[in-house]
Structure 1
Amino acid sequence: MTRWLYLLLLAVPAVFIAETQHASALLLFVLAALGLVPLAGLIGLATEVLAEHLGHGIGGLLNATFGNAAEIIIGLAALGAGLPEVVRASLAGSIIGNALLVLGTAMLLGGWRHRRQLFSARVAGEYASMLALAVIGMGIPSLLATVGESTQPGSAVVRGSQLHLLSIGVALVLLVCYVAYLAYSVFGVRTVREEPVAGTETAKGKAGMAVVAHELAYAQVPIGEDDLVAPQRTQGRCFFGSIYTLWHHSLWLPLLVLAGVTAVTAFVSEILVGTIEPLTHQVGLNPFFVGLIIIPIVGNAAEHFSAITSAMHDHMEISLAITAGSSIQIALLAAPILVLAGALMGSPLDLNFSLLEVSLFALVAFLYALISLDGESTWLEGLLLCAFYLILAVGTFFTPS
């Protein structure tokens, strides 16, 4: 995690102080959003260190499971506040943001530095196919409700309690698919390892293999230049050197940090969610905009930075793995968990997305597949993806609440 993220940790005590002083909703919202960024990064960092201790398979499972922990926590807080529409928008926004904003920024900055970046079209095609299947499965309840309304005027095929039961059934199926996804990608069940094709430029050989998953598990926090020189800088300082040694050679410290940061994230998420409705009345901020744009950026900022850093180091395949893997985890893990949790909490969450969100799902799957066809990317492609995301953000900002 980079130094500027550590500086943002100052927003965490600030938001608790502001809460006790009954500060304005806008100030609480800004401080909570800033505080969640480094907290999400610390969850990923602690998970990565635990993965080093527990081995490749268990480590990959931890990375895949906790990759979207911050978003799940925020979603649970929103369900507790009775805001299922914000949760649906945040799920859609995470998938859309990964494919448009994060991948676009990675391609833009990486392409500007390296002009053209190559990656394995076949491996990227596997990401694209899994992403398409995942988002289609998550959007099926919406399609059934919409088709019913169009073919039977005044009566949908699924509505109310039926739609809720359908969403629970789809959530269970998606969780089974997630287990299969982990078995294939993390543990390599019934997969074939292949050597990189001769003459193919890959990210130092990281993504030219047939096994998709080991990269998805370990590409969540790629190693950058700052990470490589950090141990050398701390060796000459006794205190920081001992902290570094304890952090990387003990199991209890990462576990303690993971538990503590998760608890703090839950409290800050409650404060953030609690300001959404006051902001709607005081500032006129659209809850749909908060869910679709702001919450996904806040919950995944550290992971987004990792994808962009990888592209700038000419590891475009790692960026593709991070963006696709995060979107797949949202569809196959985060969404089902929130649907089932909503049923238990008495705040039903149906997978009945709006027509705009379902259309964007289809567009994201199409764009991801289209980008992977030629096995290369340029800064112009990244710019166009970012521009489309900006148009979407501006459009939802001015949508009446």
Structure 2
Amino acid sequence: MMNRVFAIMVFIGVPISVIGAIFHWPSVIMFIIYCLTIIALASFMGRATESLAIVAGPRIGGLLNATFGNAVELIISIFSIQAGLNEVVLASLTGSVLGNLLLVAGMAFLIGGIKFKRQKFNVYDARHNSGLLIFAVIVAFVIPEVFSMNLNLTNTVHLSVGIAIILILLYLAALFFKLVTHRGIYQDPSVVDDEEEEVPEWKKGKAIGILFLSTVAVAYISENLVHTFESVARSFGWSELFIGIVIVAIVGNAAEHASAILMAYKNKMDVAVEIAFGSTLQISMFVAPVLVILSLFFSHPMPLVFTMPELVAMVTAVLLSIILANDGETNWFEGATLLAAYIIMGIGFYLL
């Protein structure tokens, strides 16, 4: 039933989004239309990811979902850098880290935990991701902030580019480690696979095609959505920082939100955790470094220097998510804890 509703929303929402953008309909109305259409498109991305996860396994399925989901934010951020909105880009990157670790994982743990008393996932993958999260956020993001206090802008940019290259190389090495050299070696014996063999809703080619087309549509609508933020901010009294950290991050990662919650509801926690944590790693170790390098080709280079509230929030989110997920199992209360942390930070950034 819901799939049919989302399909109707897509077939109506996408043409209206195009027409509204061409004829410049009121920003507040288009803001609502864009958001609803992106949510509907996210459901298609979730179903495509589920089909790919059945065919290719949870790691590849989660990785594909994170990649296509983050492509939206990458496109939005490139346009923002071109316009000189480096602070908004850094805020949206912060929002993605907080959103994935606290909001996405929190909602997935909460919804899945309400249906199932205990949910387990691969503890070895969780610990592997934990180490990368500590490196990417606590080491690679904090170091530029510390050294920038005694460096001029040019040297800070040089330091950021060096760190960006190291992050990209380590991220590619991590993928090679998980998908090639050590694929299937670290299996958690406590997770018993007693489910019946599932049949994917869509075949691999169709699922990839739908995932690609949905991402293109989401990218187009998201770009138009960004242009409504200024008017909507004036109407609701939101700051640019709040828009970047909360609104842009939530909308830009709508596909991952829906997919992770759907997987957790079906007790496919390996995929749900891979989406939440894998997307965070991809944002911090690939998307952010790529944006730093691409910014060199524009008139406003973007150093990898966040504000102190952004850094503290990200470090706190990393430590909290690691503590709760490092045992390889979760429940609804842990999800509520992550959501509570996200709400507290959201209030703080709203008041800033």
Q: 1: distance between equivalents of 2:157 and 2:339?
A: 35
> Cα distance 1:204–1:294, how it changes in 2: closer, same or farther (>3 A)?
farther
> Cα distance 1:101–1:376, how it changes in 2: closer, same or farther (>3 A)?
same
In the TM superposition, residue 323 of structure 1 has moved relative to its aligned partner by 1.1
The one of 21, 27, 34 aligned to 1:32: 34
Counterpart of 1:313 in structure 2: which amino acid?
A: K
Give the TM-score of the pair, scaled to structure 1.
0.74
Gaps of 5+ in 1: 149-156, 207-222, 231-243
> Cα distance 1:123–1:104, how it changes in 2: closer, same or farther (>3 A)?
same
Matched, 1:307 2:307: no
Q: 1: distance between equivalents of 2:268 and 2:213?
A: 33
Q: 1: distance between equivalents of 2:259 and 2:56?
A: 22
| Aligned twin of 1:180 | 173
CA deviation vs aligned residue, 1:25-60 (integer Å, no higher than 9, x gap): 222333233333344565676688789999999989
Q: 2: distance between equivalents of 1:343 and 1:389?
A: 33
Q: 1: distance between equivalents of 2:350 and 2:67?
A: 32
The one of 76, 81, 84 aligned to 2:83: 81
Q: 2: distance between equivalents of 1:190 and 1:258?
A: 27
Gaps of 5+ in 2: none
The one of 126, 129, 141 aligned to 1:138: 141
CA deviation vs aligned residue, 1:84-117 (integer Å, no higher than 9, x gap): 2121111111111111111111222222222233
In the TM superposition, residue 370 of structure 1 has moved relative to its aligned partner by 1.0
User: Aligned ranges for residues 1-400 of structure 1 at < 5 Å?
Assistant: 2-9=3-10, 10-39=12-41, 65-136=67-138, 137-145=140-148, 148=149, 157-187=150-180, 189=181, 193-194=185-186, 196-197=188-189, 200=190, 202=191, 204=193, 248=203, 261-399=214-352
Q: Decide which moves more: 383-392 or 26-35.
A: 26-35
In the TM superposition, residue 4 of structure 1 has moved relative to its aligned partner by 4.6
Q: Decide which moves more: 65-74 or 3-12.
A: 3-12
In the TM superposition, residue 23 of structure 1 has moved relative to its aligned partner by 2.1
Contact 1:293 1:393 in 2 (8 A): yes
> Cα distance 1:186–1:67, how it changes in 2: closer, same or farther (>3 A)?
farther
Contact 2:46 2:259 in 1 (8 A): no
Q: Decide which moves more: 171-180 or 51-60.
A: 51-60
> Cα distance 1:283–1:312, how it changes in 2: closer, same or farther (>3 A)?
closer
Q: 2: distance between equivalents of 1:374 and 1:24?
A: 49
> Cα distance 1:379–1:62, how it changes in 2: closer, same or farther (>3 A)?
closer
The structure that is helix-richer by fraction is 2
Contact 2:104 2:256 in 1 (8 A): no
> Counterpart of 2:141 in 1: which secondary structure?
helix
Counterpart of 1:193 in structure 2: which amino acid?
A: I
> Counterpart of 1:360 in 2: which secondary structure?
helix
Q: 2: distance between equivalents of 1:79 and 1:160?
A: 17
> Counterpart of 1:125 in 2: which secondary structure?
helix
Question: Which structure: larger Rg?
Answer: 1
> Cα distance 1:73–1:313, how it changes in 2: closer, same or farther (>3 A)?
same
Counterpart of 2:92 in structure 1: which amino acid?
A: S
Q: 1: distance between equivalents of 2:336 and 2:28?
A: 31
CA deviation vs aligned residue, 1:109-152 (integer Å, no higher than 9, x gap): 2222222333444432222112111213134212322xx2xxxx
Counterpart of 1:32 in structure 2: which amino acid?
A: Y
> Cα distance 1:135–1:57, how it changes in 2: closer, same or farther (>3 A)?
closer
Q: 1: distance between equivalents of 2:184 and 2:110?
A: 33
Q: 2: distance between equivalents of 1:379 and 1:76?
A: 37
> Cα distance 1:266–1:313, how it changes in 2: closer, same or farther (>3 A)?
closer
Counterpart of 1:312 in structure 2: which amino acid?
A: Y
In the TM superposition, residue 373 of structure 1 has moved relative to its aligned partner by 4.3
> Counterpart of 1:186 in 2: which secondary structure?
helix
Q: 2: distance between equivalents of 1:52 and 1:114?
A: 21
> Cα distance 1:159–1:29, how it changes in 2: closer, same or farther (>3 A)?
farther
Superposition CA RMSD, Å: 3.5
Contact 1:38 1:302 in 2 (8 A): no
Give the TM-score of the pair, scaled to structure 2.
0.84
Counterpart of 2:72 in structure 1: which amino acid?
A: A
In the TM superposition, residue 258 of structure 1 has moved relative to its aligned partner by 6.0
Counterpart of 1:26 in structure 2: which amino acid?
A: V
